[in-house]
């Protein structure tokens, strides 16, 4: 009986934690991904989300890019790619993750 009670309590706590975040991400409607070359030292992942009036985020595009650059050249290259996404998707939230070795 104790195990059943704690299992039920754990389920309720876990389900309740899902409501703690305001951000809801829906299913992908389009994924466009260039192949990342693991040997390239500069790798960029860009995600584009649409946001509806109730604050629900829907992932609409993912882009993966890599280039054989490092340091400030990598940063300049990634800034250009991010600006391209922002100009193609006005009014959307564009996020990115840059890995530079």
**What residues contact 17, with CB distance under 8 A and at least 6 apart?**
none
The parent domain of residue 46 ranges over 42-99
Whether 31 is in a domain gets the answer: no
Express each pLDDT in 19-66 by its tens digit.
444 555 554 444 444 445 556 789 999 999 999 999 999 999 999 999
Inside any domain, residue 57: yes
**34 against 101, higher pLDDT:** 101
Region 14-19: mean pLDDT is: 48
Residue 90 placed within a domain: yes
Residue 28 forms part of a structural domain: no
| DSSP secondary structure string for all residues of 70-94 | -THHHHHHHHHHHHHHHHHSTTSEE
Q: Is residue 86 in some structural domain?
A: yes
Q: How many structural domains comprise the chain?
A: 1
pLDDT value of position 41: 86
Sheet holding 56-67, edge to edge: 24-26, 56-67, 42-51, 93-100
Q: With pLDDT > 70 as the criterion, what percentage of the chain qualifies?
A: 60
60 inside domain: yes
* Residue at 13 is within a domain: no
State residue 30's pLDDT score. Answer: 47
Q: Report the pLDDT value the prediction gives residue 37, as an integer from 0 to 100.
A: 56
Q: Is 7 within the bounds of a domain?
A: no
Which helix or strand (DSSP H or E) is residue 27 part of?
A: none
């Amino acid at each position: 009986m104790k195990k059943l009670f704690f299992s039920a309590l754990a389920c309720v706590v876990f389900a309740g934690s899902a409501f703690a975040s305001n951000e809801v991400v829906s299913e992908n409607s389009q994924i466009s991904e260039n192949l990342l070359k693991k040997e390239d030292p500069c790798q960029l992942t860009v995600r584009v989300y649409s946001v509806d009036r109730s604050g629900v985020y829907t992932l609409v595009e993912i882009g993966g890019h890599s280039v054989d650059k490092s340091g400030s050249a990598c940063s300049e290259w990634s800034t250009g790619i991010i600006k391209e996404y922002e100009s193609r998707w006005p009014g959307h939230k564009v996020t990115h993750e840059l890995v530079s070795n």
